[in-house]
Amino acid sequence: MKFLHTMIRINDEAKSLDFWCNKLGLIEQRRREVEAGRFTLIFLGAEGNPDSQLELTHNWDPEEYSEGRNFGHVAYEVDDIHATCQKLMDAGVTINRPPREGKMAFIRSPENISVELLQKGDALEPAEPWISMENVGVW
């Protein structure tokens, strides 16, 4: 038995790929376009374990995607959480929970999926601007 993927639904493919790939760094592994069902499935993986994927389901006919409380977040380990958060912030992504202690941060995808970022190994030495940065919203 093997974990394959976590599926989330998206409305805006361009915005989602910009966030998950360009900004966060996941890599598109494969996609399947189903004309008859009017949907596209896009599978994204991180370079460290590209087979544990995030499946983006894009139904071509727009639907409203509410946020539930039974689903929490997807989490990724990063090599340098300060550098990752800086890169995300420079790209316009809000750091909802800054890595004040050099270990953990939370952001959100354009369609409100909560994403946890965790520093690989030991926490980094706490550093500004993160130490003084307030939380924004919920995650």
Does residue number 67 form part of the binding site for its own copies (CB under 8 A)? yes
Q: Which one of residues 35, 47, 122, 125 is an interface residue with its own copies (CB under 8 A)?
A: 47
d(CA 10, CA 17) in angstroms, rounded, equals 10
Q: Is 87 in the site for its own copies (CB under 8 A)?
A: no
53 binds its own copies (CB under 8 A): yes
- Inter-CA distances, 3 with 26, 36, 49, Å: 17, 28, 11
Binding to its own copies by residue 46, rule CB under 8 A?
yes
Of 77, 116, 128, 134, catalytic: 116
Token pair recorded at residue 6: 């976590």
Residue pair 130/100 in contact (Cβ under 8 Å)? The answer is yes
Instruction: For the CB of residue 14, give the shortest distance to its own copies in the complex, in Å.
Output: 17
Q: Is 13 in the site for its own copies (CB under 8 A)?
A: no
Q: From CA 106, how far away is CA 29, in angstroms rounded? A: 24
